[in-house]
Structure 1
Amino acid sequence: MKNTHKAYYNSPIGLVEVTSSDNAILSVDFVEKEEDASEKHPEVLVQCIKELDEYFKGQRKNFTVKLETQGTEFQKKVWNELTRIPFGDTVSYKYIAEAINNPKAVRAVGNANHNNFLGIIIPCHRVVGTNGKLTGYAGGIWRKEWLLQHEKNCGILNVEPTV
């Protein structure tokens, strides 16, 4: 069994728990309270917290931290496609299904989004209903709305990442 480590980030929309192995991020999730955090943080965990901080401060549009996705091949295909959605933009579940050459898999795309354990970094919040309405988000619709507005505001300011 591999070592896992946890750290927390207090974002403007709630507490974010980040879990990593020794060399890759395993999950990024909103939580209600902190559990026991790791005493020793591997470099990848420190980098992820730094990148999240830059994102929430409007200084980062793209994440570079190493990720380890755990899911089916279909889910990984969907998640990979999500990373192609430009910062500040939205696409529909149907668009993602078509982009992965499986146009009838709209519901399966929604399910893959629901099983994305790397929220914010793999931007499932950028996927909306075909009619443009905000639909499901594990962190809550109000957080999805906040994240989209945050990215739109940053896009207007044209803030470039400071690394």
Structure 2
Amino acid sequence: MSKLGQVVESVENYNKFVLDQVKRARTDQKFGRELLGRWNDVKAKIPTTRTPTGLPLPRLALPEIDEPGEIARYLFGEGLPGEFPYLNAAYREMYLEPVREIESFEKNAGKAETKIPQLEEPTRLFSGLMLAEDTNERFHYLTRHQRTHRLSTAFDGPTLYG
């Protein structure tokens, strides 16, 4: 079997596994209660944060579901951030924590004192969608309320693509 065939077979097997878990959650009450308990624990542990405008928001938005089969479909089929199959995110909290320094043991012969800065994501902004004054005001607003220092700017579609 080719590599692509193996990948296709693995995906099909995993999708079958997810459907089996959904059926099990709907028929096995104990398993369904366990999933519901895990789901409620996950939701209860999500911290809230405030936007720069003061709006409180959960740091992780989960679907509003309470049926064990749908919870199983979400947990096994999509996974929570940082959990297999990594459809929501590779890490539990991406881009939410301040930029930190990380230790590099592999590159520096195990010396803990050697640190390299973690790369940061730039904030992206399209300009030219309003008046120049509006865009300038938005630039200032973003730089006042962000942790990162880089601002990536692109023009609106008609200007960009001519």
- TM class by shorter chain equals under 0.3
Higher helix share: 2
- TM-score under structure 1 normalisation? 0.25
Query: Higher RCO, 1 or 2 (CA under 8 Å, sep at least 6)?
Result: 1
TM-score normalised per structure 2: 0.26
